[in-house]
Structure 1
């Protein structure tokens, strides 16, 4: 049976089970990576999305370990912060837009990039989740090059400006990462990845 933390009523549970059944009839397998691919397909309504997912440097085990160890989860936007389940785990889910900093004003970088820069060493051993902002992905990649060691980087930004390129850059890094190829992606994909990791951590 597929557990869905957000499905609490009978109708919601029925819809959830039907969705998983449909997706699993097309996207076979029950490995952790399969489960993440299937959930991302449900989040996007796009069966082809399963083939876009990329897993580098054993990210599933890294993510599960980080969640079980109550790692902080940092998101690029509040939509991701709200979408990540708060059930079962004890991870603090924070949005970098809430970080007090003058970096964006002083340098002209995006607020998400400024938030990640301001957090600095707080990002070590954390789960970084970026579903919207390619600029933030590029910033985090630079921080990793400078010595940052997040537990996991989930990067699935969507768009035509630096989205594909930023995710390609992530895949060259030695940190555990989950990304998708090309211009497609988005916050629902990033949230789906993290929520499935939570389920995998406690199934």
Structure 2
């Protein structure tokens, strides 16, 4: 049975169901990973996005397990934070921009990078969702590689022409579950879409559907 926890009116549900049916036909619908690709394509209105999604490790299971534990979801910017569904799970959704102001001023680094550094102790076992800032993804990758920080899952979809593609390539070299996009494309919509699809799967599991 198809559900969309984010659709709360008959019209919204119909739109969501119709979009998903089309995405199933074009993207495929054999695996849970296909569902992530479907949702990312829908989020930007372009099926090319589905071909750019890279899923490493047992990312979906890692995300579901983290949600079951109530692990925090940490985002790079407020737009990503606002887009992530808050209902039907107990995970707190935090934004790096709300932390690390002194670190940013002292080191001259971006606020999103500084925020992740400030949240270092909360990154362990967390889900990190980066939909904008390559600098924050590079900082996170450095903490994983050099300090042994181990998020449960990283959704890394940094966007732009400066270090976006490179930061995601670094992410894919790490031995942690990740969902990312190839190249310069990415952004808040697919990052939020990937996270919300995992939340939808979590809702299905808790409802026994």
Report the TM-score range of the alignment, normalised by the length of the smaller protein.
Answer: over 0.9
Looking at structure 2, the residues matched to 29 and 14 of structure 1 have their Cα atoms a distance apart, in angstroms, of: 19
* Cross-structure match for 1:168: 169
**Contact 2:100/2:114 (8 A) holds in 1:** no
SS in 2 for 1:154: strand
Q: How does 1:148-163 map to 2 (within 5 A)?
A: 148-163=149-164
TM-score (norm: length of structure 2)? 0.94
**Partner-residue secondary structure (3-state), 2:150:** coil
Q: Moved runs in structure 1, 4+ residues, more than 6 A?
A: none
Tell me, what secondary structure is at the counterpart of 1:185?
coil
Partners of 2:30 and 2:193 in 1: CA distance: 16
- State whether residues 2 and 20 of structure 1, in contact with CA within 8 Å, keep that contact through their aligned partners in structure 2: no
SS of alignment partner, residue 119 of structure 2: helix
Q: Does residue 179 of the first structure (1) align with residue 180 of the second (2)? A: yes
CA contact (8 A) 2:100 2:117 kept: no
CA shift digits 1:152-187 (9 cap, x unpaired): 111001100000000000000001111010000101
Unaligned residue ranges in structure 2 (runs of 5+): 205-209
Give the C-alpha shift of residue 100 in structure 1: 4.6
Question: What's the TM-score, normalizing by structure 1?
Answer: 0.97
- Long gaps (5+) in structure 1: none
Aligned residues: 203
- CA offsets 1:85-125 (integer angstroms, 9 cap, x no match): 01111100011111153011111100000000111121111
Q: Which residue of 2 aligns with 1:34?
A: 34
**What CA deviation, in whole Å up to 9, does each residue of 1:107-147 have, x standing for no partner?**
11000000001111211111111000000000000000121
Moved more, 110-119 or 54-63: 54-63
- Kept in 1, the 8 Å contact 2:53–2:182? The answer is yes
**Secondary structure, counterpart of 2:101 in structure 1:** coil
Distance 1:151 1:101 in 2: 25
Computed over aligned residues only, the root mean square deviation of the Cα atoms, in angstroms, reads 1.0
3-state SS in 2 of match to 1:87:
coil
- Cα distance in 2 for partners of 1:68, 1:121 equals 20
How far apart in 1 are the matches of 2:120 and 2:14? 43
**Who is 1:85 aligned against?**
85
Tell me the residue number matched to 1:200. Answer: 201
SS of the residue corresponding to residue 183 of structure 2 reads coil
